[in-house]
A and B are shown apart, each in its own frame.
Chain A
């Protein structure tokens, strides 16, 4: 048999150079902006020959948020100076804990995994903004409304399961979404005062 040959050592001194090139490439192309945002769903488009119809919704079921061109808020007919109050107001509306006749009507619904639950599924949050409303304000309002839903879902999860909403399995999350469905409707923009 032939003698076992020694494998010549691989010269790896250029490895550092190669990896430096790669490193510099990634350094240059890197942009740390993360792809995050507010997830929303648009309503189905209307057929072109059909005019927008006003759907009859009981007044108690609607929560109206208007934003004018000066970025001022009108919530349920009252002026709101600070966006941060909107969340509490929206939560109170969606939950209707005391079964107030001015707040959305409640109905008992059977939901998988949860059994019969009292929900306010008929409620609608109507968001109306002006053509000149600033995008930042719009996002803030949307953010507060989504925060209201998220907190309600979280509270429900805590009461029922003693865990955070995010930590629950997907099926349970879907069920809780049915308890507090996101009904945010956006009207066509109109000119509400302020030139």
Chain B
């Protein structure tokens, strides 16, 4: 016969947390791998255009960025809603671009200077006028290696 026993108050067994650091480390390494530090805080809204023939920018220390787009909400009061250029952390004018490139280039190592790439990150609704102005300024500054930032096109069956 089975005895009905008044059970003593049971304790939940303690969970073994030995492997928690391992799991956390796994996550940590994953994020360390995929992470790309943001270069700057965007003051302009950029939705990059789509393309298929993309090449990856290899050496990040040799890349300088030019952002083109409409100012974000909080900056629209001071800078309006017209398309603007952002260099580094500040809004800039096309005329400042040449100086910016020259100073950036002189801060590089001499053997790297000729390898400098300028990445143009522009919003997809930007008009070409401003992009062409930027390109002409880059030409004058002898920054001839450029890169139009774009994202991989998602396949749509057309």
In the complex, whether B60 has a CB less than 8 A from a CB of chain A is: yes
In the complex, whether A135 has a CB less than 8 A from a CB of chain B is: yes
Q: Which residue of B lies closest to A27 (CB)?
A: B31
Whole-angstrom CA separation of A42 from B120 in the bound complex: 13
Interface mask (B43-73 → A, CB under 8 Å = 1, otherwise 0): 0000001111111110010010000000000
**Contacting residues of chain B (128-158) with chain A, CB-CB under 8 angstroms:** 128-129, 131-132, 135, 138-140, 142-152, 158
Q: Given the complex, which residues of A lie within 8 Å of B20, measured CB to CB?
A: 16
A35 and B63 in contact (CB under 8 A), knowing A42-B146, A135-B123?
yes
> Is there contact, CB below 8 Å, between B128 and A36?
no
Shortest C-beta distance, A14 to chain B (Å), equals: 10
Q: Given the complex, which residues of B lie within 8 Å of A134, measured CB to CB?
A: 124-128
> Is there contact, CB below 8 Å, between B49 and A131?
no
> Is there contact, CB below 8 Å, between B32 and A20?
no
- From B6-14, B21-29, B74-82, B106-114, the one touching the partner chain is B21-29
Q: Given the complex, which residues of A lie within 8 Å of B124, measured CB to CB?
A: 134-136, 139
> Is there contact, CB below 8 Å, between A31 and B36?
yes
Q: Determine the interface band of chain A, counting residues with CB < 8 A from chain B.
A: 35 or more
Which of B125, B127, B145: most chain A Cβ within 10 A?
A: B127
Interface mask (A151-193 → B, CB under 8 Å = 1, otherwise 0): 0000000000000000000000000000000000010110000
A133 and B144 in contact (CB under 8 A), knowing A36-B56, A36-B57, A39-B55?
no
> Is there contact, CB below 8 Å, between A19 and B21?
yes
> Is there contact, CB below 8 Å, between A35 and B149?
yes
Main secondary structure of the interface of B (DSSP, over half): mixed
A129 and B36 in contact (CB under 8 A), knowing A16-B21, A38-B51, A136-B49?
no
In the complex, whether B95 has a CB less than 8 A from a CB of chain A is: no
Whole-angstrom CA separation of A33 from B36 in the bound complex: 8
> Is there contact, CB below 8 Å, between B132 and A37?
no
> Is there contact, CB below 8 Å, between B24 and A16?
yes
Q: Given the complex, which residues of B lie within 8 Å of A12, measured CB to CB?
A: 21
* Chain A residues near B (Cβ < 8 Å): 12, 15-16, 19-20, 22-23, 26-27, 29-45, 84, 129-136, 138-140, 142-143, 146-147, 150, 186, 188-189
* Chain B residues near A (Cβ < 8 Å): 17, 20-21, 24-25, 27-28, 31-32, 34-38, 49-57, 60, 63, 119, 122-129, 131-132, 135, 138-140, 142-152, 158
14 more A-B residue pairs beyond the given contacts A36-B150, A135-B127, with a C-beta to C-beta distance below 8 A: A16-B24, A19-B24, A19-B28, A23-B24, A29-B37, A30-B35, A32-B36, A35-B63, A36-B57, A37-B147, A38-B54, A41-B145, A44-B139, A136-B50
